A = this chain, B = another copy of it.
Amino acid sequence: MPEPLFERLALLGIGLIGSSVARIAREHGHIAREVVANARTQKTLDRVVHLGIVDRVELDPARAVAGADCVMLCAPVGAYAELAAAIAPHLAPGAILTDVGSTKQSVIRDLGPLVPDGVHFVPAHPVAGTEYSGPDAGFSTLFEGRWCLLTPPPGTDEAAVGKVAELWRRCGSLIETMEPAHHDRVLAIVSHLPHLLAFTICGTADDLADESRQQVLKFAASGFRDFTRIAASDPVMWRDVFLNNREALLEMLARFTEDAQAMARAVRWGDGSYIEDKILRGRKIRQSLIELKQA
C-alpha cells in the first residue's frame, strides 16, 4: 500500500461528498493518517461519530484545520466565504486548501483573497453525486471512473496541484485541468441547467389543480419519475450553485428556452420532420455518452 498522502485531512462539511472521501480514507488508508470532520451542527457531527468514518470531529472550523496539511471544503459553495474567513488565520504554513464545489469562478473569487501566503489553494470539482445528501449518503465507490476537474489559478504550486490530483486518483477519479470560466460553462449545461429544469417541472406539476396533481403523482410515467429523482437533490447546495454560476446558467437557460420555443412552434404548426430531427440528435448524444462510458 502506498504511504498516506497527508498527515491530517480536515473535511469542512461532511455530506455526500465529504463522507464519501472519509469512507475512502478509512477503507484504504492511503489518503491521510488522520481525518478530522467539521460540520455546521453538533447533530451532524454526532451522526458522523456514530457512523465511525473519521478519527475526530470538531464543531469549530478553526480547531478542525489546526495542524492539517490538507483542508477540503465540502460545504455548499455559498458557505465558503464565511468558512474561509474563520479558518484563514489557523491554516498551517504549507498546507493545501482545496474544495469540491460545483462552481469554480465563484470559489476563486470568494476564497482567493483570503488564502494566506504559503498556503496552496487548489480548487477542484469531483463530478459525481446522487440525489441523496448528508453523512449517511456517502459511499466509497462514488468517484470511481468519474471525472475530477481541477481549476488551479495561474501560478499555483505544481506540487500542490499534483497532490490534489493524486488524492482524487486514489478515490478512483479521472483527472482533468481546465480554466475556471470554461468549467462553469460546461457544468452549466451538463448539470446545473438539468437540475433547474427538473426543479421547475416539479413546481409546475405541483401548481396544477388538486385533482390533477393527485393524478400526476398516480400516473407518473418514467419521464417524470427521472425528473423527480434529480429534483430530490439537496436544496441549499443547489441554491448556492445557481447563485454562484449565475451568468453561465442564465446563458444556457436562454439558449435552451429559444430551442424549446422552436420546438413548441414545430408542435403548433405540425412540423414533424423538425421534431424528429431534434429527437434523433438526442439519441446521437446518448450514443456518444455510452461510447464514452459516461452513460
- Kindly state whether residue A86 has any CB partner on chain B within 8 Å: no
Interchain nearest-CB distance for A45 vs B (Å): 24
Among residues 147 to 167 in chain A, which have CB atoms less than 8 Å away from a CB atom of chain B? 147, 149
Whether the pair B198, A289 counts as a contact (CB closer than 8 A) is no
Whether the pair A263, B200 counts as a contact (CB closer than 8 A) is yes
Among residues 200 to 255 in chain A, which have CB atoms less than 8 Å away from a CB atom of chain B? 200-208, 212, 215-233, 235-236, 238-240, 242-243, 246, 249-250, 252-255
Would A268 and B239 be within 8 Å (CB), given that A198-B282, A221-B187, A263-B200 are in contact? no
Other than the given A203-B281, A205-B285, A232-B283, 18 more pairs (CB < 8 A) read A128-B222, A131-B286, A147-B218, A194-B201, A194-B223, A194-B226, A195-B223, A196-B260, A196-B267, A198-B223, A199-B282, A206-B281, A222-B230, A225-B294, A228-B289, A246-B270, A257-B257, A257-B261
Would A235 and B279 be within 8 Å (CB), given that A189-B224, A218-B292, A295-B225 are in contact? yes
- Kindly state whether residue A49 has any CB partner on chain B within 8 Å: no
Interchain nearest-CB distance for A150 vs B (Å): 13
In the complex, the count of this chain's copies comes to 2
- Kindly state whether residue A63 has any CB partner on chain B within 8 Å: no
A267 — which chain B residues lie within 8 A by C-beta? 196, 242-243, 246, 249-250
Whether the pair B205, A190 counts as a contact (CB closer than 8 A) is yes
Would A229 and B231 be within 8 Å (CB), given that A186-B212, A220-B289 are in contact? no
Q: How far is the CA of A147 from the CA of B217 in the complex (A)?
A: 12
A207 — which chain B residues lie within 8 A by C-beta? 255, 259
- Kindly state whether residue A193 has any CB partner on chain B within 8 Å: yes
Most B CB within 10 A of own CB, among A127, A190, A207, A226: A190
